[in-house]
């Protein structure tokens, strides 16, 4: 069996869809299907139950998945050790980013990486938090910034900062917002984000705890657009506290006083990359940039 076959198996198991697996691994769908089929033939068991639009693990697949992940992790450790022996860290480091660069202190991190690892080619790819989590868990990204309730179980991570979000409404709806209950707030027009975006996850979970679903009228993945739409009177949005409070003081928005949503900003990476020199260096520099101990 080949490492690429195991990677196709593990990625497909995590994503549950051959098309998404092919996109994630930058291969064609027939290539992914052929790799998994070849692995099944070599192992002598069916790894997936196949249905239109999705795949799910068989009992044999569930049993063998942890073993396959262990092999991929060991391969990652071996690669990391080999790079250590080379002395200089070379190759490409691709990092996923969420939110705005200033919030991530991205400029400071990238500048430090360029100075510390001059032979390393560094790339950034912006995306939604849960999309990046999937790619990191599948080993398709070497690391990514992540915003969510906590560090996901399927990846390793470094906690950087706790962020807080507030419900902000148009100033023109000030009295209506301030005197609203949860049901009233949910029924007002909301500006949301794509399903895998961290703000959408936080908003959905916030209302789910109340047994409610917000009345969403607009979906936007632009970082600054929700604040502009709230100011324009379009509807309510979940805004980061360091953005919402100054806007409230300027009279641009009104903040509903009965909710404050916490989220963790962290950096996540595949467990298999634990000994990768580029990730080790990135974690060390993150601790320096964020003033973390350890």
Residue ranges making up the domain that contains 168: 89-294
Domain endpoint, select from 62, 84, 106: 84
- What confidence tens digit (pLDDT) does each residue in 53-64 have? 788 999 998 999
Whole-number mean pLDDT of the chain?
90
In a shared domain, residues 104 and 180: yes
Percentage of the chain modeled with pLDDT above 70: 96
Domain endpoint, select from 67, 84, 101: 84
In a shared domain, residues 71 and 101: no
pLDDT on residue 84:
56
- What confidence tens digit (pLDDT) does each residue in 119-153 have? 889 999 999 999 999 999 888 899 999 999 999 98
Mean pLDDT of 68-97: 75
State the pLDDT confidence band at 85, using cuts at 50, 70 and 90: very low
- 254: helix, coil or strand? strand
In a shared domain, residues 71 and 151: no
In a shared domain, residues 180 and 68: no
* Closest C-alpha to 166, from 94, 259, 231, 279: 259
CA–CA gap between residue 19 and residue 245 (Å, rounded)? 43
Q: Would you say 32 and 12 are in contact if contact means Cβ atoms under 8 Å apart? A: yes
Q: Which helix (H) or strand (E) holds 158?
A: strand 156-170
pLDDT on residue 79:
67
Question: Cα 278 from chain centroid?
Answer: 20
In a shared domain, residues 278 and 163: yes
In a shared domain, residues 76 and 95: no
CA–CA gap between residue 27 and residue 138 (Å, rounded)? 15
In a shared domain, residues 273 and 293: yes
CA–CA gap between residue 102 and residue 91 (Å, rounded)? 26
Number of domains in the chain: 2
In a shared domain, residues 73 and 161: no
CATH number of residue 18's parent domain: 1.10.10.10
CA–CA gap between residue 209 and residue 258 (Å, rounded)? 14
Mean pLDDT of 99-106: 93
In a shared domain, residues 61 and 128: no
For 275, half-sphere exposure in the C-beta direction (CA atoms, 13 angstrom radius) is 14
Longest pairwise C-alpha distance within the chain: 68
pLDDT on residue 81:
63
Domain endpoint, select from 57, 84, 111: 84
CA–CA gap between residue 76 and residue 273 (Å, rounded)? 6
In a shared domain, residues 45 and 111: no
């Amino acid at each position: 069996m080949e490492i690429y076959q195991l990677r196709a198996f593990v990625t497909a198991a995590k994503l549950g869809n051959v098309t998404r697996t092919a996109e994630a691994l930058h291969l064609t769908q027939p290539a992914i299907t052929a790799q998994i089929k070849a692995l099944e033939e070599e192992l002598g068991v069916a790894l997936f139950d196949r249905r239109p639009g999705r795949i799910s693990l068989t009992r044999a697949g569930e049993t063998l998945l942890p073993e396959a992940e262990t092999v991929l992790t060991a391969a990652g450790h071996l690669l990391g050790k080999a790079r250590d022996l080379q002395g200089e860290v070379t190759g490409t480091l691709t990092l996923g980013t969420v939110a705005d660069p200033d919030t991530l202190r991205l400029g400071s991190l990238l500048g430090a990486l360029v100075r510390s690892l001059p032979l390393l080619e560094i790339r950034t790819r912006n995306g939604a938090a849960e999309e990046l989590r999937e790619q990191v868990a599948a080993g398709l990204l070497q690391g990514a910034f992540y915003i969510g309730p906590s560090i996901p179980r399927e990846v390793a991570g470094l906690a950087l900062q706790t962020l807080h979000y507030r419900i902000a409404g148009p100033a023109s709806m000030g009295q209506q917002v301030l005197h609203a209950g949860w049901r009233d707030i949910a029924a007002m027009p909301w500006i949301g984000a794509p399903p895998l975006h961290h703000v959408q996850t936080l908003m959905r979970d916030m209302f789910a705890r109340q047994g409610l679903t917000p009345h969403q009228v607009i979906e936007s993945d632009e970082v600054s657009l929700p604040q502009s739409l709230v100011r324009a009177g379009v509807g309510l949005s979940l805004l980061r506290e360091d953005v919402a409070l100054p806007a409230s003081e300027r009279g641009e928005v009104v903040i509903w006083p009965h909710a404050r949503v916490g989220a963790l900003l962290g950096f996540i990476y595949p467990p298999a990359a634990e000994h990768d020199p580029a990730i080790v260096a990135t974690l060390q520099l993150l601790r320096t940039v964020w003033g973390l101990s350890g």
